[in-house]
Amino acid sequence: MPKITSYTPAWLSKPSPGHDLFTAAPSSQSLSATSKKASRPGPRRTIAYRGVEVFIAVGKEIRWADLVYLREVWEDKEQKKRSFPKGRGGDDNFEEGHAQGYRTIKVPVADDIKQLIISPSDNYLAILTTHTVHIAVLPESSHLTAPDTGPLRLKTYTLGPTTHVTSQSGVASALWHPLGVNGTCLVTVTNDAVVRVWELSTADRWSFDRPTLAIDLQKLADGTSLDEDFGASVSGMRRGFSADSFEMEVASACFASRGSGGWSPMTLWIAMREGDVYALCPLLPEKWSPPPTLIPSLSVSIVAKDAAMEDDPTMTQKDMLLAQQQLAWMSDIDIQEPIQIEGNLGEAPAEVYMRPSKPGRVPKLQGPFDFELAPQQSQDELDGLLSDIYVIGTKMDADELMDGEDDDLEKEENQEGLSMSVVCLLMSSGRVSICLDIDGVEAQWLPKMKSKVTRYVQEEDAPTLVTFHALDTTRETEVWEGNWPMFSPDCTSRYSFYVTNTSSVTFVSLSSWAFGLERELSEGGQGTDFRVDLLAKQWSIRERIHTQKMEDHSAPLAACAVTYDPDLGYLLLTATSYGPVAVFFDPPEVEFELFGRERSPTYDSDLDKPLILYHPRPVYEPAHALEISSALPSLLDKLKHGKYKRLLQEEVRLSAATLTIMTDAHKLLSDETHKLGTAAAELFRRCARLQQDLRSQIQKANEIASRVETVTGRDVEEGPAKSSDELMAERIKAAQDRQQEITTRIEKLRKRSTKGTSRELSDKERAWVEEVNVLNTKVFGGGEENRSSRAQSKEPWARYEMIEQVNEELMEQMRDLSGGDEVPSSPIVKVPSEIRKVKMGQVMSLLDRESALVEGAKNRLEKLSLS
């Protein structure tokens, strides 16, 4: 789990401009208005990032700000306040000469904005209400520092002006297709299970009016042939009631990431509100742009599968038809010549393919999936209602794909993890079910009308998902019928995410078992079943990040958004209608990998981290009820202009009209006084807790001070005062002496333990000792007795002594012949110089050889004795 370093900073708290970005106008707030209007249950994703820029939806407008600029402006203002004395300030001049770093964006929407989704290329923003979708072209960052600080109006397109309207079914999810050309393909899924694919182009306004592909999942679920019409009804909503309209109410949908392997990037997963899960594969736009490794990996797997089926006589006709359909689909791609188009800024050119026309453009709807090893059904209805789905695709094994090839394919992201998809389901009760797609979802199509296997379509077994873990993210007191939990991906790992409920944010990590499970499945070996069972019993990491009290259900937390930037840090940001909630974490260990940079060899992360002597906790903020105005004046104004205005000027009399006025006033005042009392009680508890925290901080400070004095030696009051250097030197000297003493004691104990052992020698050790003794006897001799007895055996030591004796005799003869130091003018014995040189060379070579043998034997014996 990432370590929390701080909570909502001062530049996002009151009264800074960063706090006002998340709140509505004060004129629209009152004590009574906040509790009357309850929002309809549904996803609320009102925060989106573009680097360090953040977009926040507040009501019917969007706030846009640069977080780094806001922080720097606030720090500069605080520095100005500290620099100038009281009564003199440079804040006014500073505000006039500098931009604020935030703007308000006006959007032509008729209802409150519920979701903001930024395209992968960061140039489009999908704006969703409950029924409508608008596409806005995002402005340049320079508008944030422009002199003009007024509201900004963007170029906005209405998506499906006759499709996504209030008279039709609501929009459940809007997803940017991971294989869209430069991130311009949007997929919308409505509550009535209709999937539409929009290929957007600002040069073609018709691309915003009609989708290029529309699929009615309720028709597709009952379909038996590709020749049927599965398009969405043009007339509008369906008439009448059917079981499918109730069981196939969509809760959420999602794709896996673009860098996933296999069929994952083109598989749309749909979670139904009643608990069913479906998959639609392959779902592609007319023009799509795959990553470099996708088509080669699919081609290898399809060809290998087709070859295996030809050699296997047990394959059914349905399996053979599926292999033929996939082969036809891949053959249509292989004959295409991809078009090279310019990619996004900083990216390589993209290859664009056309969607294969064979076997068909509408895939088969796979599902509903059966859940194996699922937990027992709960009696709580919210445990069976799905609210969101999150899929982690399979890893792309590029190394195995390019085995034996000279070229290397470019990897778009970290390819580590499981070779199977992980499907995470989130219930309205806050329970997370982590499922494994063991079989793997592959591309499937319905057969032709005249196909022989049409009758087997209805008889096939349903696909399955294995439930690996199930964990709760909410407490029993936090669950209520309007709760709609949501997933938020983490920017540092594929196998970690955040769950946002109405009143809490929880971190979940699957890395504790995902990598170990993949290692066991790939390597295998003895004991694999036992180790896999241990991994299955090992729970995922789950930690509560933030919790707020459930005082008002009308102000739920928005889905948290996570980002990491070197200038901003590792930040989690969420918000209510009353203000933001920010949590800063320690920078991840893979920070340089995230930005494609290598770490310097001399980099030391510990030098940049300050010493933290406290546990971070959120700063207390007064309850919202203490700040908003009362609704009593508006009630009195209403009575003055109503039919009871005469009663306000007369004495109080017992009547039905007086009872009505008193009842209305009592309802208003009871609600307001209850909220004020709760806020005051919370303030009192916080004040009492502040005293406890202050005592705890003082106690910790005293403990640290005493430890520092103990280290420096200042805790000793007797004797003359000594400097810190002297005290530190004495402590170091004492530590060194004690270390030397401990080392000496350990050495003595080691020698004593070796002497105390009476273990008998093994056969190999006895043979080795005997060999050493024999060698010692041959080289150095075995005493005078052995010398006399073995003189005739020509041992090496005897030969060496004889050679030395011969050498001395020859040297004496040479001195005698030379006549001392003088060299005679002519030799007495006339021996030819050639013969003399040859004989002397032979003698010297023999001497060198014997000397080398003896020295080698001595060195070997010395090594054996030392070892």
| Per-residue pLDDT reduced to its tens digit, 715-744 | 555 556 666 677 778 888 999 999 999 999
- Work out the average pLDDT over 351-373: 90
Cα(417)–Cα(410) distance, integer angstroms: 18
Mapped onto helix, strand or coil, the DSSP state of residue 232 is: coil
Residues 140, 529: Cα–Cα separation, whole Å = 56
- For position 752, what pLDDT does the model report? 82
Check residue 651 and give its pLDDT: 83
Q: What is the crossing angle of helices 724-756 and 656-712, to 10°? A: 70
pLDDT of residue 634: 86
Q: For the ranges 242-246, 528-532, 563-567, which has the lowest average pLDDT?
A: 242-246
Q: Which two tokens stand for residue 630?
A: 């009362």
**Interhelix angle 511-523/528-537, nearest 10 degrees:** 170
Reported confidence tier of residue 450, pLDDT bands at 50, 70, 90: low
Per-residue pLDDT, averaged over 403-420, amounts to 59
Q: What is the pLDDT of residue 401?
A: 58
Q: Mean pLDDT for the chain?
A: 81
Distance CA(570)–CA(563), nearest Å, equals 6
Question: In the chain, count of helices (H) and strands (E)?
Answer: 20, 33
- What is the rounded average pLDDT of the residues 462-482? 87
Q: Is the pLDDT of residue 87 over 60?
A: no
462's tokens: 């349903």
Which region among 139-148, 383-392, 451-460, 678-687 has the lowest average model confidence (pLDDT)?
451-460
Q: How confident is the model at residue 612 (pLDDT cuts 50, 70, 90)?
A: low
Q: Among 41, 822, 14, which Cα is nearest to 501's?
A: 41
Window from 278-287, 465-474, 603-612, 691-700 with minimum mean pLDDT:
603-612
DSSP string covering 654-680, please? -SHHHHHHHHHHHHHHHHHHHHHHHHH
Whether the CB-CB separation of 421 and 393 falls below 8 Å is answered with yes
pLDDT of residue 764: 85
Nearest to 34 by CA among 443, 576, 530: 576
pLDDT in tens, 61-83: 999 999 999 999 898 888 888 77
Q: How far is CA 258 from the centre of its chain?
A: 15
CB neighbourhood size of 403 (10 A) = 8
Contact 199, 180 (CB under 8 A): yes
Lowest mean pLDDT among 209-213, 445-449, 464-468, 775-779: 775-779
- 709 pLDDT band, cuts 50/70/90, is confident
Res 39: pLDDT: 57
Rounded mean pLDDT, 187-200: 94
Q: Does residue 603 register a pLDDT over 50?
A: no
pLDDT band at 374 (very low <50, low <70, confident <90, very high): confident
Whole-angstrom distance, CA of residue 506 vs CA of residue 455: 48
For 10-29, the pLDDT digits (tens) are 999 888 888 889 988 665 55
Please tell me the predicted confidence (pLDDT) of residue 718: 58
Identity of residue 712: T
The pair of three-digit structure tokens given for residue 329, joined into one six-digit string: 């689909």
Q: How far apart are the first and last CA of the chain?
A: 51
Distance of CA 346 to CAs 340, 342, 590, Å? 16, 10, 21
pLDDT tops 50 at residue 522: yes
Instruction: Quote the distance between the C-alpha of residue 823 and its chain's center.
Output: 94
Model pTM above 0.85: no
Residues above pLDDT 70, as percent of the chain: 81
Distance (Å, rounded) from C-alpha 318 to C-alpha 461? Answer: 12
Comparing 197-211, 401-415, 622-636, the range with the smallest average pLDDT is 401-415
Q: What is the per-residue pLDDT for 479? A: 85
